[in-house]
Structure 1
Amino acid sequence: MFSRKRWKEAGTAYTLLSPTLFVLLLFVIGPILFAIYLSFHKVQLLGGASFQFVGFDNFTRILDDTRAKIALWNTAKYVAIVVPTQTMLALVLAATLNAGLKGEKFFRIVYFLPTLTSSAVLTLIFMWMYNQNGLVNHVLAFFGLPTYNWLGDPSVALNAIMIMNIWSTAPFFMVIYLAALQDIPDSLYEAAELDGANAWHKFWYVTVPYLRPVTSFVVIMGLIGTFQLFDQSYIFSGGSGGPNNATLTVVLLIYQYAFKSLGTMGYAAALAFALAIVILLATWLQRKFSKEESLY
């Protein structure tokens, strides 16, 4: 049994925490529970709100939805390419900037600049660059390489978004790696040199294993961010996911069903719930196979 003093201390603590708990309940826990509730109902919000319980019908509908399969495939392909590429690029950039090269502070600032630009503005800039008469095609033509209809060709539209996101997100993870590299003891590299290791051996057998926990964090953050791709795809395609559903992602499809179609809010909530399960499963698998045990 709690003493009167313990009860008083607990009451004071929860009183002080109540504003934060209220915000979490109202803006985090509440919406999650409401979304789960909607996923089991057919929802009609216009012309008088109505909620008709349909059980698992919204979830079984996903299996027969062609556009949902396309969106899932596009998202999976995007994740599979962007996450490893941006992780490796961030690590290479961080290792390069940590090598004591001349002017490294200047290059750290230059490399980090893409991260400071808002996603919407960055997308508009790249749309101008990807125009058929834009900068990218001019550069490709100058070097005698083939040009592309980056915005209108279904075979390259998603690749255009991938390139843009890798370029803009790798610098953020580069800073994380750069901070972690400062903590690697010089004695490890000195020992490797005594054993005859060259620069590549030191990077592969000392730097990479030592940064394994950091890499796990970077990959998890990358997974969460890439699975939630929305704004770039929306702006590139004008909200349609085109051309020919080439840039349609799961989150964009959820938006379309939730706000552009009547009576499909519950189905959109089911898609959102299914996406959350996929992200949790992918994160769990990554943590399971990353072998995050400390090496130091």
Structure 2
Amino acid sequence: MSKRSGKLRLREGAAGYAFMSPAIVVLGCFLLLPILYAVFLSFHKVNLLGEVSYKFSGTANFERMADDTRLWIALRNTCKYALIVVPSQTLLALVLASILNMKLKFRNFFRVAYYLPTVTSSAVLVLIFMWIYNSNGLLNYLLDLVGLPTYNWLGDPNVALTGIMVMNIWSTAPLFMVIYLAALQDIPESQYEAAEIDGAGAWKKFWRITVPQLKPVTFYVVVMGIIGTFQLFDQSYIFSAGSGGPNNATLTMVLLIYQYAFKNLDMGYASALAFLLAVVIMLITVVQRLLFREEKLN
């Protein structure tokens, strides 16, 4: 009986892997192999012009990072961007979801209207905001209309990155708003009714019931926000025409990797930087997992 059950289990396992094999092959070719190849490149000096060659350089690409000034500028910009954008878009998404979860008039219209920035192309959004921030754009026109001084929003290193932050908070928060909205509708109404009977007000119900119930969703939103902000590329590239300017103010990690890989053709060092970025994201995710871990029941 045990032999027959063992053969049956083996046959079922083989059938399962056979059904999974197309997905395994696709993921292996387009996910696992590129990762392994990037790790391989990070330990080599690669020549892509003429005859392709790989010269083993050991840890030279990683040692080079310590003296790369632009790397630390890009890492600082990326961390600053993530520290401001992720909490802002998470809080805004939660507030919008809480408002749209109420029994408001025309709430379906507002749900659709708030979600529209998410379905708009990122490149189109950047061009719209560049027009708004332009010296002759909408923002300066409105400031001039009310008698306030105009400003060079795109040319000042102190505010260039802030302009990208505002755009991303506005365009990304609606996506997380939908996730929060779905989670809010799963919270039993009986919990709020019981709290109301005990004399809890709106703020206490929100802080004691809503926020704890949304803890797993908040973890997901924050993790996806961190990953998204650390992968910032297209907005920074279009804003600065690929330079990361003005004065490296909009230079991010992914834009720096792009510059080394496709402008300088230094694939080995670019792969090492990509490996560093992956390690940073994984470490931040682990820390978040520890902060958001659920209490274990005895």
With normalisation by structure 1, the TM-score equals: 0.94
Structure 1 residue 207 corresponds to structure 2 residue 210? yes
Amino acid at match of 1:119: S
Structure 1 residue 265 corresponds to structure 2 residue 260? no
Report how far residue 5 of structure 1 moved: 5.2
Report how far residue 202 of structure 1 moved: 1.7
* Separation in structure 2 between the aligned mates of residue 185 and residue 12 of structure 1, nearest angstrom: 41
1:110 is matched with: 113
Structure 2: gaps spanning 5 or more residues: none
Report how far residue 141 of structure 1 moved: 3.5
- Aligned-residue Cα RMSD (Å) equals 1.8
* Separation in structure 2 between the aligned mates of residue 181 and residue 139 of structure 1, nearest angstrom: 38
2:277 is matched with: 275
Residues 1:139 and 1:206: Cα distance change in structure 2 (over 3 Å): farther
Alignment of 1:1-296 (within 5 A): 6-262=9-265, 264-293=266-295
Residues 1:234 and 1:144: Cα distance change in structure 2 (over 3 Å): same
Residues 1:292 and 1:142: Cα distance change in structure 2 (over 3 Å): farther
For the residue of structure 2 that corresponds to 1:155, the secondary structure is: helix
Amino acid at match of 2:255: L
Amino acid at match of 1:58: N
Amino acid at match of 1:226: T
Residues 1:167 and 1:40: Cα distance change in structure 2 (over 3 Å): same
Structure 1: gaps spanning 5 or more residues: none
Contact 1:41 1:55 in 2 (8 A): yes
**Residue-by-residue CA offset, 1:178-199 (whole Å, 9 max, x unaligned):** 0011011112212222222222
**Residue-by-residue CA offset, 1:248-275 (whole Å, 9 max, x unaligned):** 000000000001003x110000000000
Contact 1:192 1:202 in 2 (8 A): yes
Report how far residue 13 of structure 1 moved: 3.4
* Separation in structure 2 between the aligned mates of residue 290 and residue 4 of structure 1, nearest angstrom: 43
Report how far residue 137 of structure 1 moved: 2.0
Residues 1:140 and 1:203: Cα distance change in structure 2 (over 3 Å): farther
With normalisation by structure 2, the TM-score equals: 0.94
For the residue of structure 2 that corresponds to 1:246, the secondary structure is: coil
* Separation in structure 1 between the aligned mates of residue 179 and residue 138 of structure 2, nearest angstrom: 31
For the residue of structure 2 that corresponds to 1:51, the secondary structure is: strand
* Separation in structure 1 between the aligned mates of residue 137 and residue 67 of structure 2, nearest angstrom: 40
Residues 1:165 and 1:11: Cα distance change in structure 2 (over 3 Å): same
Residues 1:189 and 1:140: Cα distance change in structure 2 (over 3 Å): farther
Report how far residue 207 of structure 1 moved: 1.1
Contact 1:83 1:222 in 2 (8 A): yes
Identity across the alignment (%): 67
Contact 1:157 1:247 in 2 (8 A): yes
* Separation in structure 2 between the aligned mates of residue 194 and residue 184 of structure 1, nearest angstrom: 17
* Separation in structure 2 between the aligned mates of residue 211 and residue 260 of structure 1, nearest angstrom: 44
Amino acid at match of 1:53: F
Residues 1:211 and 1:294: Cα distance change in structure 2 (over 3 Å): farther
Contact 1:237 1:247 in 2 (8 A): yes
